[in-house]
Amino acid sequence: MNMITLQELYPLLLSYTETCFWIVVKILTLVIPLIIGVAYLTFFERKVIAYMQLRVGPNMVGPFGLLQPFADGIKLLHKEIIIPLAANKFLFILAPILTFSLSLMAWAVIPMGPDFVIANLNVGVLYIFALSSLGVYGIIIAGWASQSKYAFLGAIRSASQMISYELAIGTILASVLLCSGSLNLSDIIISQKNHWYIFPLFPIWVIFFISCLAETNRSPFDLPEAEAELVAGYNVEYSSMTFALFFLGEYANMILLSALNAILFFGGWLPPLDIPLFNIVPGFIWMILKISFFLFIFLWVRASLPRYRYDQLMRLGWKVFLPFTLVFFVLQASVMMYFDLLP
């Protein structure tokens, strides 16, 4: 039996340690700016909505109000975590942690630049779709573990909404994969070098973006948080940092879905035009600009549109979006096969 000597084992351990070190560096390089971005997204949301309503918004804490997110975080940290007596304490605490963790885990396969991605999986699209589906569990667990009828009703409404619009999103992803021929997000971006998919797939991009609003429970689809009907939805019994984790998870999902919009339809890190002036700008800058653009649309929609009724929400998902995306997928596949355009 061959035994590995210490001299042979040392280089292997050194290589393994170095690999782990750089993986940790990559994770921190992505996660720390992401958490800061989530905090400041709440600030910019308040600012954008304030300007649209002819108000000023946060402007007292720090220069131009830029320290407001830190003040909000410190306030939440100092509040007491209140757990209802009848609640399942383990699941009650687990639910917000699960929701926030899943929103961060999806970023492992998001390519921010040609050479910057934590895990360049060949099935990156399936990985993200699987994690987004698991996000329903955090909401259902939160509503059930609270042992509150209002929280449970809010959880059921939110889960029904997310499942309904995930079907349309899944069909739209299939249309994008039909054009790119790959489940790898970096390959999908590279396949748009000649033209972005927004041009041939514009109708389903509109549906994709609207479905993103519904998937993240954002206006005008924020039915789970309809205060007049359900107090505050599935998170009504939460306070302090447990509430903050739900809040941060929602905003992290907004940034994630904005990144997916950029990757799937707008060329990811690729510049708008293949000209020297644009090519000198680093790829991650283009990615950040595109994500910021979609986030602004999220905020713009919230400031502009009233809330849907729940029956209107479900009808739109099941009777309009799902049939349209299925018909579009069949027509797209037929046209691409007839003209020999399949990758």
Give me the percent of the chain exceeding a pLDDT of 70: 95
Q: Looking at the DSSP assignment, which residues form a beta bridge with residue 113? A: 116
pLDDT in tens, 253-312: 999 999 999 999 999 999 988 888 888 888 889 999 999 999 999 999 998 888 888 888
Task: Tell me if 230 sits within 8 A of 316, measured CB to CB.
Answer: no
User: Can you tell me which residue has the tokens 């007292």?
Assistant: 60
Torsion angle of C-alpha atoms 162, 211, 190, 180, degrees rounded to 10? 80
Calculate Rg over the CA atoms of the chain. 22
Q: What is the pLDDT of residue 1?
A: 42
Residue 188 structure tokens: 């999908």
Q: How far apart are CA 209 and CA 220, in angstroms?
A: 12
Residue 164 structure tokens: 């309904």
Residue type, 271: P
Q: What is the pLDDT of residue 225?
A: 65
Query: How far is Cα of residue 250 from the mean position of the Cα atoms in its chain?
Result: 8
Task: Tell me if 256 sits within 8 A of 239, measured CB to CB.
Answer: no
Q: How far apart are CA 304 and CA 317, in angstroms?
A: 21
Q: How far apart are CA 5 and CA 188, in angstroms?
A: 45
Backbone angles phi, psi at 116, to 5 degrees: -125, 100
Q: What is the pLDDT of residue 228?
A: 58
pLDDT in tens, 151-163: 888 888 888 888 8
Q: What is the pLDDT of residue 10?
A: 66
196 conformational bin, left if phi > 0, alpha if psi -120 to 50, beta if neither = beta
Q: What is the pLDDT of residue 32?
A: 87
Task: Tell me if 228 sits within 8 A of 63, measured CB to CB.
Answer: no
Task: Tell me if 129 sits within 8 A of 218, measured CB to CB.
Answer: no
| Neighbour-count burial of 73, counting CB atoms closer than 10 A to its CB (0-12 exposed, 13-18 middle, 19+ buried) | middle
Which pTM does this prediction carry?
A: 0.90
Residue type, 214: A
Residues of the chain with pLDDT under 70: 1-10, 224-231
How would DSSP label each residue in 230-263? Answer: HTTGGGTT--HHHHHHHHHHHHHHHHHHHHHHHH
